[in-house]
Amino acid sequence: MSTPACRPHQHRIVLTRREMLQVGYSGLLGVGLPSVLASRTQAADAGRASELLPHKPKQVVIVFLTGAASHHDTFDMKPDAPAEVRGEFNPIATSVPGLHVSEHLPHLAKRADKYAVIRSLSHGDNNHLMSTHYVLTGELQPGGFFDKVASRDDWPSYAAGCAYLRPRNDGIPSGVNLPTYLWQGALTWPGQHAGLIGPNYDPWQITGDPNKDDFRVDSLALAAGLDVQRLDNRRSLVNDFNQQRDRLSKVAVARRLTGEQDLAFSILTSSRFAEAFQLNREDDKMRDKYGRNTTGQSLLLARRLIEVGVPVVQANIGAVQTWDNHSNIFPTLKDRLLPPLDQGVAALLDDLESRGLLDETLVMMLGEFGRTPKINNNKGRDHWGPCFFAMFAGAGVRGGQVIGRSDATGAYPITKAYSPHDIGATVYEALGIPPNAEVRDRFNRPVRLNRGEVIAPLYSGAEV
């Protein structure tokens, strides 16, 4: 039987009950609010970390290939390997001499000068849930075991760490995950939440297909019949009520509630964040460029959220385990998965660059691990943590390079291996957060955020 967190959503746009509480009448009472409504007291404490920021903070788009895409059939092809390793696809030249990618990535092949590919990522796990946690938090799952579901013992996601260490009060959340929520049956994928630092720092979870004509996020709209003036009147009543509570006003909790009320009001009366979800405001040619499909429109929505100032946007490409191709991998990639990814990511890079946002935005595309070198009896590839790839672009990344090499069958790195710890350090560095910064868990215990090292060759190009 599914746990309560995994039961099917009941409301029209598929938002959980907690999501509906992110903004709404409950916001005026300071109840059930996420990172954008975190208490002012906690935010003030965490805000001291801003003094440690190494540079102007960037933004991050995570293009997450949930289920794990095959490196052999995309960005680390092995054309000279035996047939059972090299697979059915051919490599094609890119805009960068010597850099080849799959024939089914023609748009990204033309833009190879904009991104770097790492071919020597590695970790020791083959389980979807634990590996997803590792990649999306930069830390091993505490107490991890096979299919350990999400819990408040988990490490915070990058958006949650950003919410804690870069608090804000402008009504823009620190993180948005879209368009799917990673859960299946009784399994809820870890790495999507704030984990041990508490629910106040959870990123927004938006579930709904932005390619549909009726896509909207009801929790960002005022209730029917409630206009701004009436909301302002309601706010005045709440303020009057608070002013009468002299004793409670001296209590820290009451002061935090007042801060949360102000933040809730600012979200409900400001159109900036809500308008980001109105894809019908985009020019039809731009929407066509991204692709009229869930992948393309999700990436377009990610750009719109970056444009209004959301620091971390995670676009899950496909439902949970979409890229977990244990059988029929080649027609699945060729006909269904690679074309929209290729078109959408290429459009995202072009769009960010044309708007002057690519220099300020780190785009990272990866899955939780790689796929086995040898094709199995079902013409698929299985889980493989020892070697996988990631693509990085923007935010100072030196494009047109390959970092690291795998062996002749793509089984193991033969140059320096980079771990998800290092991915985490790189993401936090881009966000202007020292990877070794300290956060405090929900019991106020100090915890070091990350133990990795920034992947320096992304910026220097000094290591192959």
DSSP assignment of 42-57 equals: HHHHHHGGGGG--SS-
Supply the pLDDT for residue 274. Answer: 86
- The mean pLDDT value for 433-455 works out to 95
Supply the pLDDT for residue 261. Answer: 55
**330-361: pLDDT as tens digits:** 999 999 999 999 999 999 999 999 999 999 99
Its pTM stands at 0.83
CB count, 10 Å around CB of 12? 10
Supply the pLDDT for residue 52. Answer: 42
Exposed, middle or buried: residue 323 (CB in 10 Å: 0-12, 13-18, 19+)?
buried
Supply the pLDDT for residue 170. Answer: 82
Q: How far is CA 389 from CA 23, 74, 271, 397, in A?
A: 38, 9, 39, 16
Supply the pLDDT for residue 56. Answer: 82
Supply the pLDDT for residue 47. Answer: 43
CATH assignment of 54-211+283-460, among 1.20.1250.20, 1.10.10.10, 3.40.720.10, 3.10.450.50? 3.40.720.10
> Is residue 248 within a helix (H) or strand (E), and if so which, with residue range?
helix 246-249
Q: 386 or 53, which is more confident?
A: 386
Q: Which residues pair with 402 in a beta bridge?
A: 117
For the cut 80, the answer to whether the pLDDT of residue 378 exceeds it is yes
Closest CA relative to residue 21, chosen from 264, 241, 214: 264
Banded pLDDT at 55 (limits 50, 70, 90): low
E strands present in 77-147: 91-93, 100-102, 115-121
**253-293: pLDDT as tens digits:** 444 445 555 555 655 555 788 899 999 999 999 999 999 99
| Alpha-carbon gap, residue 180 to 369, rounded angstroms | 20
For residues 104 and 338, is the Cβ–Cβ distance under 8 A?
yes
Name all contacts of 424-427 with Cβ < 8 Å and 24+ positions apart: 424/137, 424/138, 424/139, 424/158, 424/450, 424/452, 425/138, 425/450, 425/452, 425/453, 425/454, 425/455, 426/362, 426/392, 426/452, 426/454, 426/455, 426/458, 427/60, 427/138, 427/158, 427/362, 427/364
Supply the pLDDT for residue 238. Answer: 59
What would you measure as the largest C-alpha separation in the chain, in angstroms? 79
For residues 142 and 190, is the Cβ–Cβ distance under 8 A?
no
Supply the pLDDT for residue 462. Answer: 56
- The mean pLDDT value for 429-435 works out to 96
CB count, 10 Å around CB of 53? 15
For the cut 60, the answer to whether the pLDDT of residue 309 exceeds it is yes
Domain boundaries, the chain: 54-211+283-460
Supply the pLDDT for residue 273. Answer: 86
DSSP secondary structure string for all residues of 390-450: EEEESTT---SEEE--B-TTSSSBSS--B-HHHHHHHHHHHTT--TT-EEE-TT--EEES-
| Alpha-carbon gap, residue 26 to 28, rounded angstroms | 5
Q: 41 or 27, which is more confident?
A: 41
Banded pLDDT at 48 (limits 50, 70, 90): very low
Supply the pLDDT for residue 252. Answer: 43
Whole-number mean pLDDT of the chain? 84
Paired tokens of 8: 């099917």
**161-207: pLDDT as tens digits:** 999 999 988 888 999 999 999 999 999 999 999 999 999 899 999 99
Banded pLDDT at 217 (limits 50, 70, 90): confident
Q: How far is CA 120 from CA 157, 362, 422, in A?
A: 23, 19, 12
For the cut 60, the answer to whether the pLDDT of residue 21 exceeds it is no
